[in-house]
Amino acid sequence: MGGWSRRSVLQGSVGGVVAAATRPVWAQTKPDKLVVVGENQIAWKRTLIEEVAPAFEKATGIKIEFTLLPVDAWRARLKAELSAGSTGIDLALLSVQMAGWMSPHVLDHNEVVAKIMARDPGFAWDDFLTGGKVAGTYEGRLVGIPYRLTAGILHYQKALLQQAGFTEAPATFADFQKAALAVNAPPSRYAFGLMGKQGAGTFTNSIPWMFSAGGRLLDFTTGEIFINSDGAAAGLQFYADLALKHKVVPPEAMTWEFDEIIAGAQKDRYAMSVTFSSYGTLFNSPASSQTAGRWAWATMPGHTAKAQSRTIVDGQFMAISKYSKNPDWAMEFLRMACSKEAMLRSMEAGNAPPRGSSLRDPAMVAKLGWPAVAAEAIETGIPAVSHPAWDGLELALRVGVSQTLLGEKPAKQALDDVAREWQRNLRRAGVIK
């Protein structure tokens, strides 16, 4: 962005921290550091780590210590320490799927927001998208302040589709299949990139296809399970057939997860993918991508009509541990990290901020392309599941998706098996009898 620098972008935030630090509300002893625990995707946290944290330390003398771990280790660490009431964590980054079991261990951030707004009306809570607030609320408690709000959208190399005779992004599954077959050019470039590794990306990468075919997950209130419906099976089978039947997926994609889907786009290994909206910044990065400037974006195709398009809305929230000895200082760091200035700046590093002013900023829309599509997808998106029992259910679903992707079972059979495993898990969790 013309005329921007780290100093100019964060000047307002640093000034706010300094001003707040002189107010009488700071009754707590100043600690040497605050400990923040999160997962180890560094790229979209660069503004947080390299700009906001040093600015906060300069303003307050308090160092921010980041402990960043792989997804499953990150969740395990938070469960172990917070369940034990450990005071060793001040702030946690948590995903929507973690909200249920994290809720008892973090402050009610409705109250945190009220305190921040009393100190700094410019924080502008109304600027945060409603979808993020809904996704981060569990049983009436806001578990954290939204920092990242992601939606699965279609990323595609526009010129490749145009050269194949497609003037618009595919609107339906049938359109997508036709476009994929037309642009597939193995072994140098394939049509479609996916996260084929059985792991944390399995659910978020496959579920938009199931949702857009009319699939659902389950109802925790009644215990009714929908994952093996005809719609869900049709969506999953279409997704798997792109690799198994149509051979439009790079063979190595069966080992791909988050970092690899980004690298695959940057190395021109595929022409289209449905993945997190903010990855578009990294796909199009002139500094790191061989395909910079080639990508365009659209919402998910629908099964037989565009109106059926649905995606998952996920994200990460910054939450203050209720066991922290430094909640006021943690609140000030959170205020600065989620300020308008820092949120806008973070977009250039691959973040998907939850503020409407960031996603609708004309300069950012013109420069990055994907923000307006992400905002549209979030409007009809389905929030990730936050019930405490979900982790066990997701593990079973990962297996079913992988079995279908590898051709071990057709989608309906795999999802029937998943549904039976879900019933057992829900009984053990006391959700159904």
Does 134 share its domain with 222?
no
Do the domain assignments include residue 343?
A: yes
Q: Are 291 and 281 in contact (CB under 8 A)?
A: no
pLDDT digits (tens, 9 = 90+) for 280-338: 999 999 999 999 999 999 999 999 999 999 999 888 999 999 999 999 999 999 999 99
pLDDT digits (tens, 9 = 90+) for 99-132: 999 999 999 999 999 999 999 999 999 999 888 8
Do the domain assignments include residue 433?
A: no
Q: How many helices (H) and strands (E) does the chain have?
A: 20, 11
Count the helix, strand and coil residues of the chain and give each as a percent rounded to the nearest 5.
50, 15, 30
For residue 371, give the nearest of 150, 123, 94 by alpha carbon. 150
395 has a pLDDT exceeding 90: yes
Residue given tokens 């939606």 in the structure block:
151
Q: Which amino acid is at 53?
A: A
DSSP state letter for 88: S
Beta strand pairing status for 63-69 and 33-39? parallel
Does 131 share its domain with 201?
no
Do the domain assignments include residue 1?
A: no
Beta strand pairing status for 137-138 and 295-298? unpaired
Does 61 share its domain with 137?
yes
Does 364 share its domain with 230?
no
What is the per-residue pLDDT for 255?
97
Beta strand pairing status for 295-298 and 312-320? unpaired
Do the domain assignments include residue 376?
A: yes
R_g over Cα of the chain: 22
pTM for the structure as a whole? 0.79
Does 60 share its domain with 97?
yes
Domain that holds residue 412: 151-312+384-428
Domain-terminating residue out of 383, 398, 419: 383
Query: Whole-angstrom Cα distance, residue 249 to residue 251?
Result: 6
CATH of the domain at 28: 3.40.190.10
Domain-terminating residue out of 363, 383, 403: 383
91 has a pLDDT exceeding 80: yes
Average the pLDDT over each of 116-120, 309-313, 374-378, 420-424 and give the range with the smallest value: 374-378
Query: Whole-angstrom Cα distance, residue 387 to residue 391?
Result: 8
Query: Whole-angstrom Cα distance, residue 132 to residue 146?
Result: 6
7 has a pLDDT exceeding 70: no
C-alpha angle 304-307-308 in degrees, rounded to nearest 5: 60
What share of the chain in percent tops pLDDT 90?
79
What is the per-residue pLDDT for 134?
87
Residue given tokens 């061989």 in the structure block:
290
pLDDT digits (tens, 9 = 90+) for 332-349: 999 999 999 999 999 888
What is the per-residue pLDDT for 27?
55
Do the domain assignments include residue 281?
A: yes
Do the domain assignments include residue 367?
A: yes
Question: What one-character-per-residue DSSP string does 113-152 give?
Answer: HHHHHHH-GGG-GGGB-HHHHHHTEETTEE-SEEEEEEEE
Residue positions counted in the chain: 433
pLDDT digits (tens, 9 = 90+) for 130-159: 888 988 999 999 999 999 998 999 999 999
Half-sphere exposure of 158 (CA within 13 A, CB side): 11
Does 297 share its domain with 342?
no
What is the average pLDDT across 176-203? Answer: 97
Number of domain units in the chain: 2
Do the domain assignments include residue 338?
A: yes
Do the domain assignments include residue 77?
A: yes
Does 118 share its domain with 167?
no
Does 377 share its domain with 399?
no
Does 13 share its domain with 83?
yes
For residue 281, give the nearest of 24, 47, 67 by alpha carbon. 47
State the alpha helices, DSSP H only, in 158-257: 158-163, 173-183, 200-212, 230-244
Does 171 share its domain with 237?
yes
Does 207 share its domain with 320?
no
Does 271 share its domain with 419?
yes
What is the average pLDDT across 396-415? Answer: 98
